[in-house]
Amino acid sequence: GKGVMIDHAHGIVIGETAVVGDDVSMLHSVTLGGTGKEDGDRHPKIGSGVLIGAGAKILGNIKVGACSRIASGSVVLADVPPCKTVAGVPARVVGDAGCTNPSRAMDQIVRTNVNVEDILPTC
């Protein structure tokens, strides 16, 4: 897409069949990867206005809705609705995106009523 911003473009992986919409911002060490399927459409489709936090992994032929936020370090394995914030491993919806264009606001603070303990992986 046009207006894509890759901040500190270090360690970025964008798979062969990935699609990135307009005005997307992604921070360092982001992966838009596959899940093992060898051919065909196997990478994520990122809607316009999405903010992808540092170290986030978005895997498989899934859709990230427009104006969503992916929290840093999240592993996204399922579709993300538009205008939502997802966090965790695996990622789940933890709140609204909080603005109409997260990619331009670059606000990475996750404001939610979700208990952080509930989204952290258990050991």
For 41-89, write each residue's pLDDT tens digit.
999 999 999 999 999 999 999 999 999 999 999 999 999 999 999 999 9
pLDDT given for residue 111 in this prediction: 57
Q: Supply the pTM of this predicted model.
A: 0.83
- 8 against 93, higher pLDDT: 93
Cross-strand bridge partners of residue 75:
57
Give all strands of the β-sheet with 69-70 in edge-to-edge order. Answer: 5-6, 25-26, 51-52, 69-70, 84-88, 91-96
Reading the block at residue 99, the tokens are 């603005």
Check if the beta carbon of residue 100 is closer than 8 Å to that of residue 67: yes
The overall average pLDDT reported for the chain is 86
Q: Where are the alpha helices (DSSP H) in the chain?
A: 102-105, 116-119
Topology of domain 5-110, per CATH? Answer: UDP N-Acetylglucosamine Acyltransferase; domain 1 (2.160.10)
The domains of the chain are located at: 5-110
Check if the beta carbon of residue 24 is closer than 8 Å to that of residue 6: no
pLDDT given for residue 123 in this prediction: 47
